[in-house]
């Protein structure tokens, strides 16, 4: 079984008989949690690039409450993995880990511990007892052995450790934070990240960030994603969520997706547990977070912030506590859209510069410093190649499910000469979380869905039916419209886009209305809603109608 059977190669008593690359040094990576393992996987390739002198093997420690997913991650990455018990039979030259809570076998090799977040800013349950401990600090026994080295990103972290754990004296190394350096190098790719996530230039991306535990954003407000999707107009906003890998490990992807099923049906961008959160964070227009490291990274990227939760497990005197003193708080039961828009308008560049300066010293050099440290501990000269530097992270594909039904509210205004129709769509899945539609002249609400809506009740009740795929020609669109109105007698109209042409809207009285989007970016669902509103308001179906939101001009005219 992968990761649970002893290896014969590249380590083992006769590994030299079977190996092709016979390295001069053996580096063992301790893999205990997804969070800590990912940190090493994201940095190590740049440090050891092209160097055949170092053999790398991973040792799987299954004792963490968050061990689920580690072996899947290592298998996908193509790593060689041995069980933790075999580590005592191997003679490594260095043990590398981003998890401080490991039981290292007796020996003389150094142990380098990287941070798996930002600094030492959170109290976590101690797996060795009933008390809490400071995240990131290795056991005293390992410090006393003189083998442990703790990488830090700022001198203030050394001072913090000396005050709380005196045995860390002279056991810290100022390295920096490779993750921050990657994020900062990725800013120039922001447009590509947004496009990959399906965010249009005229849309705002609202990202939520939740650490793990009962005081986290999702621990305190699990319905916040759904309520955001209900209150933010579908055509103007995208909503995403970055959830700590410990949540995925502890509860499983199935449980998390089940708990967020309504939000997922409404188009939530639930980013995968590893790697993909980084481009999503860079792409965000505003971040709603808590006391986790991702929120602090967002602040360092100068992203407008709102804090929706802040737990008592945050450590006073740290950078994240300083962030809590500066960032505005979100009232989760207030006007969410108003608070988000106000946070963006009220954000001034450099607002969180003091927080960043407190967490990260001399950013931009972490990989180079880390390589120097790694080779010194391995007892090897550094490669003669140029020092490694942080590359932009690759784009992440959108994980969002397609939205197939909406509650649509339209309002007819303007003048007789220049009528205007405002269209606001909310995914039907979260309509129960949306504000009630105000009753006033010209405002109507209806249900719309695509022709592949899986819920038969919605399809039977929808007033407008939208063809998901564009028709290749007008003839096929007209045939589809006729068939759809017969198949769904409860609908009032059906709409199909025509490739290279306009949208065709078929009415139940057999009239066909052609809708031409002067801006060339029309959504057939919006087109159908405009025609629906015009019919109810008894507007002429020939002439120009201006629709709000994206200020798209539509020309509506009967087609013979």
Sheet of 81-83: strands edge to edge? Answer: 81-83, 54-60, 25-31, 94-97, 111-113, 148-152, 172-174
Q: Report residue 415's pLDDT band, with 50, 70 and 90 as the boundaries.
A: confident
117 in the same domain as 257: no
pLDDT digits (tens, 9 = 90+) for 119-152: 888 888 877 777 787 888 888 888 888 899 999 9
Question: Count of domains in the chain?
Answer: 3
Do 145 and 215 fall within a single domain? no
β-partners of residue 152 are 174
| Closest-CA residue to 317 (of 174, 519, 123, 47) | 123
Judgement on whether residues 527 and 431 belong to the same structural domain of the protein: yes
d(CA 367, CA 87): 27
* Beta strand 111-113 pairing with 148-152: parallel
Q: With a cut of 80, say whether residue 175 has pLDDT above it.
A: yes
Q: Is 383 within a domain?
A: no
Residue 551 — pLDDT band, cuts 50, 70, 90? very low
Backbone angles phi, psi at 526, to 5 degrees: -70, -40
Contact 40, 104 (CB under 8 A): no
Average pLDDT over residues 225-234: 97
- Residue 540 CB neighbour total at 10 angstroms: 12
Average pLDDT score over the chain: 92
**Whether the predicted pLDDT of 260 surpasses 70:** yes
Q: Do 266 and 221 fall within a single domain?
A: yes
- Mean pLDDT of all residues in 529-557: 71
Give pLDDT, residue 257.
98
Containing H/E element for 289? strand 286-289
Predicted local distance difference test score (pLDDT) of residue 225: 98
Please give the torsion angle defined by the CA atoms of residues 485, 430, 249 and 402, in that order, rounded to the nearest 10 degrees. Answer: 30
DSSP-derived secondary structure for 95-159: EEES-S---PPSSS--EEE--SSSSS-BEEE-TTSSSEEETTPPPHHHHHTT-EEEEESSHHHHH
Tell me if 396 is assigned to some domain. Answer: no
Say how many C-beta atoms besides its own lie within 10 A of residue 76's C-beta: 10
Q: Cis before residue 10, ω within 30 degrees of 0?
A: yes
Give dist(CA 245, CA 211) in Å, integer.
8
Question: Is residue 389 one of the residues assigned to a domain?
Answer: no
CATH number for position 211: 3.40.50.2000
For 324-342, the pLDDT digits (tens) are: 999 999 999 999 999 999 9
Q: Are residues 216 and 349 in the same domain?
A: yes
Q: What is the pLDDT of residue 554?
A: 58
Is 399 part of a structural domain of the chain? no
Can you state the angle between helices 293-300 and 319-326, rounded to 10 degrees?
A: 70
Percent of all residues in the chain with a pLDDT value above 70, rounded to a whole number? 96
The answer, yes or no, to whether residue 404 has pLDDT greater than 90, is yes
> Over the stretch 506-517, which tens digit does the pLDDT of each residue have?
999 888 998 887
Q: What is the pLDDT of residues 470-503, one digit of tens each?
A: 999 999 999 999 999 999 999 999 999 998 888 9
What the block records as the tokens of 126 is 């101690």
273 falls within a domain: yes
Consecutive H or E run containing 60: strand 54-60
CB 419, CB 546: distance < 8 Å: yes
- Rounded CA-CA distance 28/513 in Å is 68
Both 193 and 133 in one domain: the answer is no
pLDDT digits (tens, 9 = 90+) for 50-71: 999 999 999 999 999 999 999 9
Q: How far apart are the C-alpha atoms of 82 and 77, rounded to whole Å?
A: 15
Determine contact, residues 543/417, Cβ cutoff 8 Å.
Answer: no
- Whether the pLDDT of residue 536 is over 70: the answer is yes
394 pLDDT higher than 50: yes
The string of pLDDT tens digits covering residues 294-331 is 999 999 999 999 999 998 888 888 999 999 999 999 99
User: Could you tell me if 326 and 210 lie in one domain?
Assistant: yes
Q: How far out from the chain centre does Cα 87 lie?
A: 35
With tokens 């509506």, the residue in question is 556
Residue 518 — very low, low, confident or very high, per pLDDT cuts 50/70/90?
Answer: low
* Whether residue 441 has pLDDT greater than 90: no
pLDDT at position 121 is 85
* Three-state DSSP class for residue 422: strand
Residue 23 located in a structural domain:
yes
- Mean pLDDT, to the nearest integer, of 447-458? 96
What is the model's pLDDT at position 376? 97
Q: What tokens were used for 375?
A: 């080779």
521 pLDDT above the threshold of 60: no
Average pLDDT over every residue of 431-460: 89
CA atoms in the 13 A half-sphere facing the CB of 415: 2
- What does the pLDDT read at residue 547? 67
300 in Cβ contact with 355 (< 8 Å): yes
pLDDT over threshold 90, residue 265: yes
Residue 241 has pLDDT above 90, yes or no: yes
Do 332 and 446 fall into the same domain? no
pTM score, whole prediction: 0.94
Residue identified by tokens 């003679």 is: 91
Q: What is the pLDDT of residue 552?
A: 47
- Taking the C-alpha atoms of residue 240 and residue 384, their distance in angstroms, rounded to an integer, is 43
- Cα separation, 57 vs 18, in Å, equals 15
**Does residue 195 share a domain with residue 169?**
no
Q: Does 385 reside within a domain?
A: no
Between 226 and 537, name the one with better pLDDT: 226
228 shares a domain with 263: yes
Domain, as residue range, for 515: 405-558
Spatial contact of 281 and 301, defined as CB atoms under 8 Å apart: yes
């Amino acid at each position: 079984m992968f990761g649970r059977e002893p290896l014969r190669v590249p380590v083992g008593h006769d590994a030299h008989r079977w190996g092709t690359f016979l390295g001069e040094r053996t580096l063992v990576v301790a893999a205990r949690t997804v969070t800590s393992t990912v940190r090493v996987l994201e940095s190590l390739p740049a440090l050891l690039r092209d160097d055949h002198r170092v053999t790398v093997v991973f040792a799987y420690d299954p004792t963490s409450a968050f061990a689920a997913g580690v072996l899947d991650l290592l298998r996908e990455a193509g790593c060689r993995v041995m069980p933790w018990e075999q580590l005592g039979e191997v003679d490594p030259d260095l043990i590398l880990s981003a998890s401080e809570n490991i039981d290292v076998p007796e020996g003389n090799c150094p142990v380098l511990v990287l941070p798996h977040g930002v600094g030492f800013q959170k109290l976590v349950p101690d797996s060795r007892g009933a008390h809490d401990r400071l995240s990131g600090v290795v056991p005293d026994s390992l410090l006393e052995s003189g083998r442990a080295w703790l990488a830090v990103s700022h001198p203030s972290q050394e001072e913090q450790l000396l005050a709380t754990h005196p045995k860390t004296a002279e056991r810290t190394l100022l390295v920096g934070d490779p993750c921050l350096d990657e994020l900062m190098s990725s800013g120039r790719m922001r447009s590509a990240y947004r496009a990959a996530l399906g965010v249009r230039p005229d849309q705002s991306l609202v990202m939520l960030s939740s650490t793990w535990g009962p005081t986290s954003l999702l621990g305190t407000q699990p319905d916040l994603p759904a309520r955001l999707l209900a209150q933010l107009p579908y055509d103007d906003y995208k909503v995403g969520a970055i959830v700590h890998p410990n949540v995925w490990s502890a509860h499983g992807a199935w449980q998390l997706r089940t708990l967020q099923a309504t939000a997922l049906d409404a188009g939530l961008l639930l980013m995968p547990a590893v790697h993909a959160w980084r481009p999503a964070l860079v792409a965000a227009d505003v971040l709603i977070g808590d006391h986790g490291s991702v929120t602090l990274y967002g602040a360092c990227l100068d992203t407008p912030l709102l804090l929706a939760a802040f737990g008592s497990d945050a450590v006073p005197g740290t950078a994240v506590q300083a962030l809590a003193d500066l960032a505005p708080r979100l009232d989760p039961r207030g006007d969410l859209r108003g608070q988000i828009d106000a946070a963006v308008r009220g954000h001034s560049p450099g607002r969180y510069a003091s927080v960043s300066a407190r967490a990260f010293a001399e950013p931009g050099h972490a990989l180079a410093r880390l390589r120097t440290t790694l080779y010194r501990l391995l007892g090897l000269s550094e490669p003669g190649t140029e020092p490694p530097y942080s590359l932009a992270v690759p784009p992440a594909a959108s994980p969002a499910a397609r939205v197939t039904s909406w509650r649509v509210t339209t309002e007819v205004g303007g003048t007789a000469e220049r009528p205007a129709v405002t269209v606001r769509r909310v995914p039907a899945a979260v309509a129960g979380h949306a504000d009630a539609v105000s009753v006033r002249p010209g405002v109507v609400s209806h249900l719309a869905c695509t022709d592949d809506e899986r819920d038969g009740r919605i399809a039977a009740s929808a007033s407008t039916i939208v063809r998901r795929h564009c028709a290749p020609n007008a003839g096929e669109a007209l045939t589809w419209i006729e068939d759809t109105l017969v198949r769904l007698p409860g609908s009032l109209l059906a709409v199909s886009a025509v490739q290279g042409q306009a949208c065709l809207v078929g009415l139940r009285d057999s009239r066909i209305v052609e809708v031409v989007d002067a801006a060339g970016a029309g959504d057939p669902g919006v087109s159908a809603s405009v025609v629906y509103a015009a019919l109810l308001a008894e507007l002429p179906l020939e002439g120009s109608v201006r629709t709000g939101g994206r200020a798209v001009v539509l020309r509506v005219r009967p087609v013979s």
